[in-house]
Amino acid sequence: MQNSNAPGATVAFVGLLAANTILGSIMPMLIILGGLAGLLLAPSPALATLPPSVQTFAGLVVTGPFSLLMGRHGRRVGFLVGGLAAMAGGAVGVLALVWSSFALLCLAHALLGAALACYLYFRFAAAEAVSTDWQPVAISLVLTSGLVAAFVGPQVFIWTKDLFEPVPLAGAYAAITAVTLVGLLPLLLVRAPRPVATSNRPEFDRAALATILARRPVLAAVLAGAVSQGVMVLLMAPTPLAMTGYGYSEAVASDVVRWHVVAMFAPSFFTGFLIRRFGTVPIITTGLALSISSALVAASSVSVHHFYVALVVLGIGWNFGFIGATSLLASAISPQERAVVQGTNDTLVALAATLCVFASGAIVTGFGWTELALSSLPILAVALLWVLVPGRRPRDT
């Protein structure tokens, strides 16, 4: 771990924060673009959510390889590769709309999903740039970049979506490429330490990995992170489709998503300090409880006010659960275990998100919004009980 007092540590952290802020602004753009472009090009309305589903699946596939790449060559190299994937994805998205190719649109979102998966490692890079005591704060502050993204991303979408008229939405994909190029520049400030070898052996064997994952703090962190991410995607991804299905305009649905993203990241200004004050387990527990409350609100009514409240509470719950889980994992593993364990963790998180995004479309179209909200409750209850039940509760940090 890099010493927070070492020369260049502050500059490195600022570079990471700036890069993540700019690069992260494409995330809310993709929430809007995935469904709209899919509906525009899909051969059937039932396939409209396939591009964001492919995006999530691509993140699942590349999460582990990105962690190993960073473990071998360093964080900066990994982020540069992720940025190149985003630039390529934006360019392919433009071609998909110009040529009216649904297959190319899916390829574009696969590349963009790979980039988003890579960007998740900014939180671990930030933790490694500071001392142990300040890791929760560093993780939390890096995730505040999502608050900027919540406002910047949709606005960039509005400004650019019609740049290539009469081809709709192509300008927004081009903007993704341009924004990514700008976002890679702050990485020039990052001088990360050389990666620590994961083991003296040629490879980190499965038995050793299983032993690490069986440790209570590690297992609790992985479970809490996967459930927080999965349930958030389960309820967020089909929200625009559900709201338009109930007669609300696309503008209102987009505004609900905007405030959901704000709620996901605004608490990051103080979540790290709350973890330092109360510990990781209480914050994780609070996050899971808030997610349960969100599902209950969503299931109770389909009024516009219930959509707003449910998605805002869901965002806050994700913030507490995900940052708490990340902090717990960062403190529970050694430098030698980072690359493999972080990669496994984010692969499982991506797997949960992939399963949930595929399930969300099927449940909403086959059963309805209320049933979708209720389906999340057993998942959240299991995770909450795992953290709280005596004998299974991880030692707090």
Confidence category of residue 199, pLDDT binned at 50, 70, 90: very low
Residue 181 sits in which domain range? 1-190
Domain count across the chain? 2
Take residue 248 and report the two structure tokens written for it: 């609300």
Dist. CA 50–CA 38, nearest whole Å: 7
Which residue among 190, 215, 240 closes a domain?
Answer: 190
Is the pLDDT reported for residue 270 higher than 90? Answer: no
For residue 4, what pLDDT is reported? 44
For residue 214, what pLDDT is reported? 75
At 145-160, the pLDDT tens digits run: 777 877 888 788 888 9
Would residue 292 count as lying in a domain?
yes
8 Å CB contact between 171 and 160 = yes
Would residue 198 count as lying in a domain?
no
Mean pLDDT score of the chain: 84
Cα dist from 101 to 34, 35, 38, 113, whole Å? 14, 15, 10, 18
Secondary structure element (H or E) that encloses residue 54, with its range: helix 50-73
For residue 292, what pLDDT is reported? 96
Judgement on whether residues 241 and 186 belong to the same structural domain of the protein: no
Judgement on whether residues 100 and 161 belong to the same structural domain of the protein: yes
Judgement on whether residues 59 and 120 belong to the same structural domain of the protein: yes
Residue 183: closest CA among 8, 71, 17, 66: 17
Give the pLDDT mean for 314-319. 95
Judgement on whether residues 176 and 244 belong to the same structural domain of the protein: no
Dist. CA 326–CA 341, nearest whole Å: 12
Dist. CA 24–CA 21, nearest whole Å: 5
Judgement on whether residues 216 and 172 belong to the same structural domain of the protein: no
Would residue 33 count as lying in a domain?
yes
Dist. CA 263–CA 107, nearest whole Å: 30
8 Å CB contact between 179 and 22 = yes
At 233-257, the pLDDT tens digits run: 899 888 877 888 888 886 788 788 8
Confidence category of residue 388, pLDDT binned at 50, 70, 90: confident
Would residue 157 count as lying in a domain?
yes
How would you write 320-377 as a 3-class SS string? HHHHHHHHHHHHHCCHHHHHHHHHHHHHHHHHHHHHHHHHHHHHHHHCCHHHHHHHHH
Judgement on whether residues 147 and 239 belong to the same structural domain of the protein: no
> DSSP string of 82-104?
HHHHHHHHHHHHHHHHHTT-HHH
Would residue 199 count as lying in a domain?
no
- Find the Cα–Cα–Cα–Cα dihedral 295, 317, 284, 207, rounded to 10°: 80
Instruction: Mark 233-255 as b/e (b = at least 16 C-beta within 10 Å).
Output: bbbbbbbbbbbeeeebeeebbbb
